[in-house]
Structure 1
Amino acid sequence: MTTFVDRVELHVAAGNGGHGCASVHREKFKPLGGPDGGNGGRGGDVVLVVDQSVTTLLDYHHTPHRRAGNGRPGEGGNRSGADGKDLVLPVPDGTVVLDKRGNVLADLVGHGTTFVAGRGGRGGLGNAALASPRRKAPGFALLGEPGETRDIVLELKTVADVALVGYPSAGKSSLISVLSAAKPKIADYPFTTLVPNLGVVTAGSVVYTIADVPGLIPGASQGKGLGLEFLRHVERCAVLVHVLDCATLESDRDPLTDLDAIEAELAQYGGLDDRPRIVALNKTDVPDGQDLADIIRPEIEARGHRVFEVSAVSRKGLKELSYALAKIVDEARAAKPKEEATRIVIRPKAVDDSGFTVTKEGEGLFRVRGEKPERWVRQTDFNNDEAVGYLADRLNRLGVEDELMKVGAREGDGVAIGPEDNAVVFDWEPSVSAGAEMLGRRGEDHRLESVRPAAQRRRDREAARDETTREYEDFDPFA
């Protein structure tokens, strides 16, 4: 049964925004008290958060589809809908977020680091928010925007200062078990370790983490064995330790050949040439192992590597190795640039940026792309003529109609707003987008003009009664 997963494909969907409400306030003696439809709630976000207590992506391997809460629709009485609940997904320290094409979206290092993987949709405005002196009683409301959907890939790259590399059964797990408090699985057969093991080592005043990379054999960088799955876990390390088996029972292997083979795999994987190397000749407690170490040590040192003769059984050379690694890690930390305070970068738009583009696509078809036009289309209820008219007015004020005329659009040409796979297409009629006089003032309710204050109605009745009295007094039956 799988207990460790370091790469998953995750399908996230943020919450949809709630629809706005179209409502008119009604009460006794006041049947048309004006619009009072509330706004829809915002959809919930999908947020990735680094959690130190999480060490694997196993949960997302079993349930890769995650969705945040939707916003609630608005209601009458100026009651806005509740916002959707954000979905917080804990991930291990060192998780890299990529898109489907392999582009890095975020590198999550450090407890509490967050990344919004999917943003919730905006809530639609109710007709109370759409009311204006010219549009006193809108008979429509805006729809909520759909939440962002995304397919992302999560890769775990272990955050370790020291990485142990070497052939299976070279003794990497044994070294971690005696250098730290980690208790990895140890046995006398290859590929005992199937997941990276982490341990914390204290050497004087320096505390650092050490990890082993299981399953490195020739061809690992091309997918042979287990190495390709775990080579990514050495990318963040400050120093590489080659653990060479000086007591191997395989006749076709020797420490120098193992060193060359592992170095070749690391070179093919790439990105590790600048890391310092240390060679640990392991199992020197065995007499034949000590003899072999004495023979090959000068040649390894001639290559420029520091060599330590160690034994996980007798604890030989472990203190010297631990302090040497601590010194390299401490120097690497000191050389690392300090993180600067978060800066807010303001990038104003150009003065001639209209916020949309109009391009001609084929004969009689024009496409409008832009954040505002596409958002307005998503928020429009096309079953409501008044809402469609409101959309036409907004597009006209933005300058879409003028731009269509500039690029040669004629009445009856097709106009698509949005991307190819999800666009709204209509036949362009300039009189619709700019002819508000055909519909009167859009959104106005003329019934409101007939509802007069009580004092005004009383004065009108008294004036009518006085007029009737004057006519009666002036009436001459004998005339």
Structure 2
Amino acid sequence: MTTFVDRVELHVAAGSGGHGCASVHREKFKPLGGPDGGNGGRGGDVILVVDQDVTTLLDYHHHPHRKATNGAPGAGDHRAGKDGQDLVLTVPDGTVVLDKQGNVLADLVGQGTTFVAAQGGRGGLGNAALASARRKAPGFALLGVPGDERDVVLELKTVADVALVGYPSAGKSSLISVLSAAKPKIADYPFTTLVPNLGVVTAGSTVYTIADVPGLIPGASKGKGLGLEFLRHVERCSVLVHVLDTATLESDRDPVSDLDVIEEELKEYGAGLENRPRLVVLNKIDVPDGQDLADMVRPDLEERGYRVFEVSAVAHKGLKELSYALAELVSEARAAKPKEEATRIVIRPKAVDDAGFTVKREDAEGEPLFRVRGEKPERWVRQTDFNNDEAVGYLADRLARLGVEEELMKAGARHGDGVAIGPEDNAVVFDWEPTVMAGAEMLGRRGEDHRFEAPRPAAQRRRDRQAERDESEREYDEFDPF
């Protein structure tokens, strides 16, 4: 049964926002008390949080689909809907979050580090929040915005100071078991270690972690054996230790050639591994002829500039010197690292000429089609109840104020041309009717109910109606492109 998983594909869905409520306050002797519809609740986020007690992504391997709760809809009497509950997913220290294309979205290192993998949708405004001096009695409310849905890839890269690398059965697991309290599986056949093992070592005043990486073979950087599965666990380590077998039974292998092969694989893999501080351990000197082979190859290795240690994990020889040498390299690596800066908030204001949307002509099957993309217009479309004429008119007014109609005219859109708002797979398409005075404005004073106004003399009402008609005609003549 699988007990360790270091790469999974996770499907996350945030909660959708609750719909706003369209309601009118009513009570005895006060039948038209005004709009009192409450706002919908916000949808819950999906949040990844580093927990050092978690060491594997196994849970997400078995249950890859995760969804936060939706916000509740608003209600009358100014009652707002309840916000959806955030879904918090714990991940191991060193988890990297990528999108499906392999782009890094977040590198989660350190206890408590968080990343919002999917943002919850906004709650829709109720008609009480939409009321204004100009729109006293809105007969509509805004819908809640759907939450984000995305597929992310989680990759675990072990966080350790020292990585033991080498061929299978070189004695890496035995070495980590005697240097630390770790108890990895040890056997006399290749690829005994199938998961990285971590141990904590104390050498004087220095405490550091050491990782036993599963055995590497020629072609590991190209995916042969377990290479690609576990080479990434070496990336975060500050020091590399080549564990070379001086008692191998394979006639075509020797410590120097083993070192050359592993170095080439580290170089091919990249990620800066070829420049990490490293030393060489000649293991199994307690085996007959093991010490003789170590004496033969040591001068050659030292001539290449390596620090060489002869050890025996079984006989516990040379372990103290190795432990203190590693502590020295780890201390140097820690001192060379730049000090962590306090968290900064980077503010990137939009350009003064950024309209917040784009209009692009995309003719489809010989028919003109203009696509509008932008965070605001796409969100407004999702918030609109297209079964409510007043809500559609409100959307048209918002788009006109944003400048969408003006840009459509500049792009060459004509009466009856198709306009799509949103991406190809999820767009609202309609035939354009160019009226800068948008939507229900052409029908009169949208959202106003004269029952909420004080009575006016008949002559005054006639003058006001005529003034409104004259103003409408002037504005229509001014903006009519035809």
Provide the TM-score with structure 2 as the length reference: 0.92
Counterpart of 1:65 in structure 2 is 65
Count of aligned positions: 452
- Greater CA drift, 118-127 or 359-368: 359-368
Is contact 1:26–1:33 with CA below 8 Å preserved after alignment?
Answer: yes
Extract unaligned runs of 5+ from structure 1.
453-479
2:427 is matched with: 423
* Paired residue type of 1:158: T
Deviations 1:111-170 (CA, angstroms, capped at 9, x unpaired): 000000000000000000000111111110000000001100000000011000111111
How far does the alpha carbon of each residue in 1:383-402 deviate from its partner, in whole angstroms, 9 at most, with x for none? 00000001111111111111
Amino acid corresponding to residue 110 of structure 2 in structure 1:
G
Q: Which position in structure 1 is the counterpart of 2:305?
A: 304
**Could you tell me which residue of structure 2 aligns to residue 44 of structure 1?**
44
Q: What CA distance in whole angstroms lies between the structure 1 residues aligned with 2:255 and 2:353? A: 67
**Which of 396, 400, 405 is matched with 1:401 structurally?**
405
| Residue matched to 1:75 | 75
Residues 25 and 77 of structure 1 are in contact (CA less than 8 Å); yes or no, is this contact kept in structure 2? yes
CA distance, structure 2, for counterparts of residue 366 and residue 432 of structure 1: 17
Pick closer, same or farther for the CA change 1:148–1:433 going to 2, 3 Å.
farther
| CA deviation after TM superposition for structure 1 residue 411, in Å | 1.2
CA distance in 1, matches of 2:351, 2:314: 69
Which AA in structure 2 matches 1:332? A
Question: Is residue 321 of structure 2 the alignment partner of residue 350 of structure 1?
Answer: no
- Tell me by how many angstroms 1:95 deviates: 0.3
For 2:346, the aligned partner's letter is V
SS of match in other structure, 1:287: coil
CA contact (8 A) 1:171 1:245 kept: yes
SS of 2:274's equivalent? Answer: coil
CA contact (8 A) 1:401 1:433 kept: no
Q: 1:447 Cα deviation (Å)? A: 3.6
1:103 aligned partner = 103
Distance 1:422 1:447 in 2: 41
Residue type of the partner of 1:285?
A: D
- Counterpart of 1:265 in structure 2 is 265
Give the secondary structure class of the aligned counterpart of 1:383.
Answer: coil
3-state SS, counterpart of residue 202 of structure 2: strand
Using the alignment, how far apart are the partners of 1:403 and 1:264 within structure 2?
57
Match of 1:379 among 383, 407, 412: 383
Deviations 1:426-474 (A, max 9, x none): 111123853655321112233434899xxxxxxxxxxxxxxxxxxxxxx
1:445 has 2:449 as partner:
yes
How far apart, in 1, do the equivalents of 2:247 and 2:354 lie?
A: 71
> How far apart, in 2, do the equivalents of 1:22 and 1:129 lie?
10
* Deviation of 1:20 (Å): 0.2
Letter in 2 for 1:27: E
Find the residue that maps to 2:275 and give its secondary structure. coil
Residues 337-359 of structure 1 show CA distances to partners (whole Å, capped at 9, x for unaligned) of: 01111222222222222211112
* Corresponding letter in the other structure for 2:59: D
Unaligned runs of 5+ in 2: 457-482
SS in 2 for 1:431: coil
- Sequence identity (%): 86
- Counterpart position of 2:417: 413
Tell me how far apart the structure 2 counterparts of residues 437 and 381 of structure 1 sit (CA, whole Å).
18
Equivalent in the alignment of 1:477: none
- Normalising by structure 1, we get a TM-score of 0.92
Is contact 1:415–1:428 with CA below 8 Å preserved after alignment?
yes
* Superposition CA RMSD, Å: 1.4
Q: Is the 8 A contact 2:390 2:440 kept in 1?
A: no
Which among 337, 346, 369 is matched to residue 373 of structure 2?
369
Q: Give distance in 1, aligned partners of 2:455 and 2:122.
A: 35
Correspondence 1:163 to 2:167: no
Query: Which one has the largest radius of gyration?
Result: 1
Asked if 2 retains the 8 angstrom alpha-carbon contact of 1:213 and 1:227, the reply is no
Aligned 8 A contact 2:241 2:281 in 1: yes
Q: What residue identity is the alignment partner of 1:290?
A: Q
Residue of structure 2 in register with 1:254 after alignment: 254
